Amino acid sequence: MSDRVVVITGASGGIGAALAEELGRRGATLSLVARRADALSDVAARSGPRAQAIVGDMTKRLDARRVVDETLRRCGRVDVWVNNVGQGITRPPSQLTDDDIDAMMLTNVKSALYGIQEILPHFTSRGEGQIINISSMLGRVPWAIPRSAYSGAKHFLNALTASLRAELKDAYPGIVVTLVSPGVVRTEFGLHSLHGGIDSRQLPDSQSAEEVAVVIADAIESRRADIYTRKGARDRVLGYFGSVGEDP
């Protein structure tokens, strides 16, 4: 990992911060991106001497472009780009507004799309790289009614990820597109949801951000394309779809 340059967006807390610290321990050179300057600076300080904080809003394409430019200026290259920006929502489908849908798409899909499109020319010029999109089990199965718009946005992200992987496969086999699907993670994610929400740290069947970070770090080492962060998650997804719908 000591030869990898990794950009992590949404790095000021939760999974992003835990991943920064894990990769820092493994010797990676890091560009850490988030809007909250003070929190981001603290994470960078905990992530080792090769970590740099870049304050930016990944829902703005120009900020994504600036992150690429600043990282290339400092490090000369990028090896891994982690799209980790995201926000939940607490509102059932019958009450969703246009603004709710727009907010979920901007934060959970467009932030990743901007990162992908801004780093991709660098990766294609080198013929190698890894894009990691942090999705959710709710991007596989819509289990949580109040999270319907979030779940829909993550389904969109999953489709975008799979389509990008297929687009690049033949022309750029050295570029890996990885999807990560965590379940409930013990962070402040729920509290920061649009319209408020339950503290994710109080929910059952959860895992720590540090556990998720280890799985993501291992995916960087192995360059795996599609991973769940909990054992048994894949079987739960297959079980759900095996029980939905009937043949005509």
Tokens of 204: 């059952």
For 94, the token pair is: 């019958």
Contacts of 143 (CB under 8 A, 6+ apart): 137, 151
Q: From the candidates 114, 150, 228, 240, give the one annotated as an active-site residue.
A: 150
Q: SS3 of 226, please? A: strand
Give the pair of three-digit tokens for residue 42: 């603290």
Q: Which residues pair with 31 in a beta bridge?
A: 7, 52
Q: Is 228 a catalytic residue?
A: no
| Amino acid residing at 60 | K
Residue 14 — left, alpha, or beta (φ > 0 → left; ψ -120 to 50 → alpha)? left
Catalytic positions are 150
